[in-house]
Amino acid sequence: MSEEYNFAYLNEQTKRMIRRAILKGLAVPGYQVPFASREMPMPYGWGTGGVQVSAAVMTEGDCFKVIDQGADDTTNAVSIRSFFERTAGVATTTHTGEATVIQTRHRIPEEPLKEGQILVYQVPIPEPLRFLEPRESETRKMHSLEEYGLMHVKLYEDISRHGHISTAYAYPVSVEGRYVMDPSPIPKFDNPKLGDCPAIQLFGAGREQRIYALPPYTQVVSLDFEDHPFEASKADHACALCGAEDSYLDEVIVDDAGGRIFVCSDTDFCARRQEAGHAGKDAA
Amino acid sequence: MSDQALLSVRGITKRYGAHIGCAEVSFDLYPGEAMGIVGESGSGKSTLLNCMAGHVAPDAGQVIFDTAVDGPRDTLQMSEPERRMLARTDWAFVHQHARDGLRMGVSAGGNVGERLMAVGARNYGEIRASAAGWLGRVEIDTDRIDDRPSTFSGGMQQRLQIARNLVTGPRLVFMDEPTGGLDVSVQARLLDLLRSLVRDMRLSAIIVTHDLAVVRLLADRLTVMKSGHVVESGLTDQVLDDPQHAYTQLLVSSILQV
């Protein structure tokens, strides 16, 4: 651990301020708590909100995992993981089951989370109503008065234009029948995992300076119409490497001749299955 | 007409500092009745309308509305959620500029359906059918249900705004210069449409305008305002044909007789 930094980079007062916002967020599930987001040594859009939340909840005994679109080995995941190795000296892992704090960009791990784990989401735009109502003063009023008709207008527009609800990620959810929340740009395949989850789920938006949270076992319902119900969709294939049929898949172009394969977006899940002897059609 | 007033306005006063917006305005509006408020620019008619519709808080007075559930209630004493609920169920507000009252980035069908969804409609097929029905009633081709209002002409936008407001079957419509900025032939069509809607739905309406032809066609009663005060009120034909107050006489005589 480097001597120059306080534990987990942020100073104690800042972490205290962030923890207060997190506690408030947990007390009012789905409510966006404003907080004094700090400048972090990374650009906005790279997870400044998630990093601050991770730093605030991290203790020395934690085991930390970072996933970027499901993968443990991309630039964003590797750099954030090494950031906390340097500044906090915590143990890191790629195994979902071993981690106590998991920072994620746009995915929920396939392996079911358990009590005692904290899932930290990086959120680009926390306001689900933003593209429908540009005024912040008005969206706050709509949240406080529970006026969410507009959210269905967006879904209505989807159906009228495409014949089905085409929103595939950042699919709006209603939390405990009160606040409508943007679950960050996770694929809607992951939406059912938000509800009734044993782990604590924290959402940090650094540029927009908002934190919100889902305490364990919270009721989370994806918005829909009676005659166009919510559907958690995925590519209709099995993983080419591990053969899993129930995991979320990435489409990967493999040559210049239009060849493509579908592989698990969750690299840890896929590797574990391959270790256990499962193989897909393209397994080496 | 029933004996119970739908809307009773009592002593509405709004000041902008030392300047008077409107002062001590009182009247009753009965179900099915359309009332016009006329006056020159700055006479306080829009201030009065915004005070009644809850967009602006008046300094004094009461706006008592005969709510469907609880009977007569002072809307100014209601909590904001209650008042906003009222504003999207029993009330409607037609803006002078259609783009103030429409969502320009949302299709015509979505615009009409928004109020339905805001009061809890969650069946896409029913919402769409209802939106299509209303587009028909305001003479917009149903084929254009998925077009955005930005591709509509001014008159169509105004008709769309009216459809969007009337879809939840309100009992009271506030109109702020509904024909302002439209050319005369479009105005005539819009007025014709409004008149038939008001008659068919037994709507009560408060129409603020400076165009006397509009009130002549639409309003049963007329209130003339000047410098924030009501100077004359009565039946529309009576006020226009036999104006008593000097200002009303001036107003009536200012119209070009073509």
pTM to 2 decimal places = 0.86
Render pLDDT for A164-213 as a digit per residue (tens, 0 to 9).
999 999 999 999 999 999 999 999 999 999 999 999 999 999 999 999 99
Q: 10 Å Cβ neighbour count for B11?
A: 12
Using pLDDT thresholds of 50, 70 and 90, give the confidence band for residue A3. Answer: low
Catalytic site includes residue A30: yes
CA distance B86 to chain A (A): 13
Chain A environment of B80 (Cβ under 8 Å): 145
From residue B144, how far is each of A162, B110, B138, B187 by CA, in Å? 16, 12, 13, 21
Using pLDDT thresholds of 50, 70 and 90, give the confidence band for residue A281. Answer: confident
State residue B1's pLDDT score: 47
Sheet containing strand A179-181, strands side by side: A179-181, A173-175, A220-222
**H helix runs in chain B, sequence order:** 45-52, 80-88, 98-101, 108-118, 124-137, 154-166, 184-200, 212-218, 236-241, 246-253
Render pLDDT for A25-51 as a digit per residue (tens, 0 to 9).
999 999 999 999 999 999 998 999 999
From residue A88, how far is each of A44, A80, A96, A120, B233 by CA, in Å? 21, 12, 20, 17, 77
* Chain B interface, best mutation among A150, A156, A222, by max B CB count within 10 A: A156
The DSSP result for A235-274, as a single string, is: -SS--TTT--SSS-EEEEE-STTS-EEEEES-HHHHHHHH
User: How high does pLDDT run on average in chain A?
Assistant: 94
User: How high does pLDDT run on average in chain B?
Assistant: 90
DSSP H or E segment with residue B67: strand B60-67
β-strand A260-264 against A249-253: which pairing, if any?
antiparallel
Q: What ipTM did this prediction achieve?
A: 0.84
| Residue among A25, A47, A206, A242 flagged as catalytic | A242
DSSP state of A8: T
* Spatial distance between the Cα atoms of B178 and B96, rounded to a whole number of angstroms: 5
Tokens linked to A269:
């899940």
Assess whether pLDDT exceeds 60 at residue B169. Answer: yes
From residue A45, how far is each of A66, A135, A136, A206, A268 by CA, in Å? 15, 22, 20, 8, 24
Render pLDDT for A105-118 as a digit per residue (tens, 0 to 9).
999 999 999 999 99
Positive/negative CA dihedral, A179, A185, A188, A194 = negative
Chain B environment of A149 (Cβ under 8 Å): 88, 114-115, 117-119
Catalytic site includes residue A270: yes
Among the listed residues B210, B220, B214, B197, the one whose alpha carbon sits nearest the alpha carbon of residue B254 = B210
Chain A environment of B114 (Cβ under 8 Å): 149-150, 153
Q: What are phi and psi of B86, to 5 degrees?
A: -60, -40
- Region B24-29 average pLDDT: 92
Using pLDDT thresholds of 50, 70 and 90, give the confidence band for residue A1. Answer: low
Q: What are phi and psi of B117, to 5 degrees?
A: -70, -30
Q: Which residue of B has its CA nearest to A142?
A: B81
Q: 10 Å Cβ neighbour count for A71?
A: 21
State residue A265's pLDDT score: 95
- Region B119-136 average pLDDT: 94
DSSP H or E segment with residue A26: helix A12-27
* Spatial distance between the Cα atoms of B3 and B155, rounded to a whole number of angstroms: 37
| Strand extents, DSSP E, A123-246 | 173-175, 179-181, 200-205, 210-214, 220-222
DSSP H or E segment with residue A160: helix A149-162
A residues 152-171 closer than 8 Å to B (CB): 152-153, 156-157, 159-161
